[in-house]
């Protein structure tokens, strides 16, 4: 695999740029190339230890429940270390493609051995793990204490963070995709795909850009509408779930004589 790839040593944020050339060569010699389309699962939550580097595209880390619900904990770009939950010691963690992705998957055994034998590889892996735990902590705090609008804004800002500074970041967002980021319900209870809402822009688009939908900022009614719509769908889903509460018994003082 060529070392001149943009996700290689030339990238400032790249995992491969932070480890010695010998360790990099050992990992890349037998690396397997994975190509994933948008919305594909790259590493499933139930996978054995798997690890690699994202070479191209955008992906997300998310926790996946057995009933189909998902909640995104963070986003990944070219050069980032990616792996199944087992490689980080975190259950239910999965990686999915947000766009067309290319991943160089290492041999897990060789990678683990390098983290024990090589100090630079161990430190780079420790920093990647720390970042994963930190983003999970932020996501947990937002899910537990944040308002729906705060959660929506968090994901919109995160999705726009890697846009080139010379270009105003633009996000094409549907109601379903945003629900997938903030937290979803099982697919069987989702609304039809025809309920997608118009595009949402995190900042005004460049002059001359083509769009049939007016741009909206993070504080606009369009984003508020997205948050309210998602919240309403979640309340409706909870209302449809059968109650598991056991029937209460009347106390003795209420029984007829």
pLDDT, tens digit (0-9, with 9 covering 90-100), for 205-238: 444 444 444 333 333 434 555 556 666 666 766 6
User: Over the stretch 119-177, which tens digit does the pLDDT of each residue have?
Assistant: 999 999 999 999 999 988 888 888 888 888 888 888 887 777 665 554 556 666 677 66
Q: Going by C-beta distance under 8 Å and a sequence separation of 6 or more, which residues neighbour residue 182? A: 71, 72, 148, 151, 152, 155, 230
pTM of the complete model beyond 0.95:
no
Q: Which fold has domain 16-145?
A: Jelly Rolls (2.60.120)
Do residues 75 and 140 make contact, with C-beta atoms less than 8 angstroms apart? no
The SS3 assignment for 51 reads strand
Domains in the chain: boundaries: 16-145, 148-238
């Amino acid at each position: 695999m060529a070392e001149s790839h943009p996700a290689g040593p030339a990238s400032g944020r790249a995992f491969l740029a932070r480890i010695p050339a010998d360790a990099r060569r050992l990992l890349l010699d037998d690396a397997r190339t994975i190509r994933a389309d948008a919305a594909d699962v790259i590493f499933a939550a139930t996978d054995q230890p798997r690890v690699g580097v994202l070479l191209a595209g955008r992906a997300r880390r998310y926790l996946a429940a057995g009933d189909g619900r998902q909640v995104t904990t963070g986003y990944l770009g070219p050069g980032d270390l990616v792996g199944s939950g087992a490689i980080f010691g975190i259950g239910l963690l999965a990686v999915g493609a947000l766009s067309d992705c290319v991943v160089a998957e290492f041999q897990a055994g060789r990678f683990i051995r390098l983290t024990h034998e090589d100090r630079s590889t161990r430190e780079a892996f420790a920093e990647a793990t720390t970042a994963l735990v930190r983003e999970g902590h932020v996501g947990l705090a937002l899910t537990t204490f944040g308002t729906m609008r705060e959660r929506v804004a968090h994901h919109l800002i995160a999705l726009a963070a890697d846009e080139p500074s010379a270009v105003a970041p633009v996000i094409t967002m549907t109601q379903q995709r945003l629900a997938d980021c903030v937290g979803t319900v099982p697919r069987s209870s989702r609304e039809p795909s025809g309920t997608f809402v118009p595009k949402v822009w995190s900042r005004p688009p460049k002059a001359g850009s083509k769009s049939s939908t007016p741009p909206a900022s993070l504080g606009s009614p369009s984003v508020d509408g997205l948050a309210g719509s998602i919240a309403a769908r979640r309340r409706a889903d909870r209302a449809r779930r059968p109650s598991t509460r056991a029937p209460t018994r009347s106390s003795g003082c209420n029984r007829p004589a």
